Amino acid sequence: MARLARALHENGLTTGQVLRECYGVPFPRELIVIADADPYTLRLLSMWTNQPWRLTTPPSRGGPAAEPDTNDPMERHFRAFDPDLLPLLFLIRPGIDVTDDELVVCYRLTELAAGRSTIYGAPMEPTDPDQVVRRADSLLAMLHQHHTAYLDELEEELAKSYRLEADYVDEDEIEEIRRRIRQLEDFQRA
């Protein structure tokens, strides 16, 4: 698929057109906006999968990468488990509440074909279809929700540390998460 994506990019197709040719379904604008910003440079609380992201990288930025990276076994597991699921990223939740930590966030190809950007979540190695749960209407909504929940946890811990006169939370970290949330809101507007 990487060779196909590279050839499509080299023939002048847009990111959305490349993905549609590779997967046979249209992708939502939110994915294109993130891809154009280069997800691997974004400092969000997530770890990006190989596909579809590496396919969105044009040759001018060194892509699409011909060789998979360390996420490939997880992605192969998902394809074998349910070929309709397209893993997009793992959520990372450092520190306080790890409810969503390592949750794999996915699109369903059938949902994309129907024009919906519904997001599903599953554990790293699902074994039962009941483990795949609808999580949000869109990827950006899911990322915003994830970052906002983490910010709320940090602010709660900061308030506790003020009451206890302790340093549990770094205020710079809180400001960094706020910047990330503003960035997500900019993506949503785009």
Domain boundaries, the chain: 2-189
What integer pLDDT is reported at residue 95 of this predicted model? 60
Structure confidence at residue 34 (pLDDT): 95
- Rounded to the nearest angstrom, the gap between the alpha carbon of residue 49 and the centroid of all alpha carbons in its chain is 8
CA distance 11 to 65: 17
Query: How does residue 63 score in pLDDT terms, banded at 50, 70 and 90?
Result: confident
Contact 106, 120 (CB under 8 A): yes
State residue 74's pLDDT score. 83
Q: For residue 94, what pLDDT is reported?
A: 66
pLDDT of 99-124, one tens digit each? Answer: 666 789 999 999 999 999 999 999 98
Question: Which pLDDT band holds residue 50 (cuts at 50, 70, 90)?
Answer: confident
Q: Which residue has the tokens 């790293």?
A: 124
Query: What's the confidence (pLDDT) of residue 39?
Result: 86
Residue 88 sits at φ, ψ, to 5 deg, of: -110, -40
C-alpha separations of 111 from 66, 92, 190 in Å: 28, 25, 22
Lowest mean pLDDT among 30-44, 128-142, 174-188: 30-44
